[in-house]
Amino acid sequence: MNPVVKKYEGLIAAPFTPLDSKMNLNIEMIPVYYHFLEKNGVIGAFINGTTGEGPSLTQKEKQINAEQWAKCMKSGGKVRIINLVGGTSYKECIENAIFSREIGISAIAVIGPYFFRPCNEEALAEYVAIIGESVPDMPVYYYHFPAISGVNIKMTSFLQRISGILPNFSGIKFTHEDLMDFIGCLNFNGGIYDILWGRDECMLSALATGCKGFVGSTYNYAAPLYHSLIETFRKGNIEKARNLQFKAVEMISLLDKYGGIATGKAFMKYVGLDCGLFRLPVKNLTPEMYEAFSKDVEKLNIKEFLSGV
């Protein structure tokens, strides 16, 4: 692993991509968004991912988006940027990886190709390596999200392969409930890799394994809740930590109630940062649904735990 890589300790938000009323990029909002995350104690941003509608953006749009986030960091911001470069075409991934290096992005990430999926850990490692080799001086992460990608390969086996062929491989965004595999990755080769937990609703479980870095969509609008959960756990107050985790579960349950991922942008609007709507085929909340959603948020009594503009 590249010795200059710093492990992330704290919350990494997966930002929503701001869109205007015509469903085009609203890049003017990105500096506001960046400082919003910084103000709320978020240490990193995982852009162009699932929450950021990366697969729904064009190649050019993903680059414009990355460039705007990088500008915020390079102008003195403290939030580091991980750019998900793709995807199903390793050629496009390489193009985005090189672009990321040129604009000063902190690290890149690669998701398992969800069309023509790799059949085993060897094929996956080969795919990630051919992209990572194009930017040998950059940290490279793998985005493990089998529920979306369909690439359900044991990450401990993947690490065995990738560790031998990609020196700048740095870690995994682990969005899966397999704690046995996760613990194996955390402790692989003495814990040299940065293994980031990607399931907000199960943060407490990950904390118990010794995990220190977390990537998630709900950190965009409820960072104080998770800061509180981490601090409470570290102080040894497990009962209170359980209660805080349950608050997170109640909050996240509203995503299911109101149709899924688009509810996240409704949460952003609720806390005062309107990022627009999701592109098709994602279904957005109607005005009537948003009104009902707002009332449900109020019933949760979590105002103190929501991020502030």
- The catalytic residue positions are 143, 173
Residue 236's contacts (CB-CB under 8 Å, 6 or more residues apart) are none
CA triplet 234, 235, 240: central angle to 5 degrees?
Answer: 95
Omega of the bond leading into 281 within 30 degrees of 0 (cis): yes
Alpha-carbon gap, residue 76 to 41, rounded angstroms: 15
Contact yes or no for 25/65 (Cβ under 8 A): yes
Which DSSP string do the residues of 236-271 spell out, in sequence order? T-HHHHHHHHHHHHHHHHHHHHTTSTHHHHHHHHHT
Distance CA 1, CA 5 (A): 8
CA–CA distance, 118 with 140 (Å, rounded to integer): 18
Burial of 45 (0-12, 13-18, 19+ CB in 10 A): buried
What span, in angstroms and rounded, lies between the C-alpha atoms of 174 and 282?
A: 24
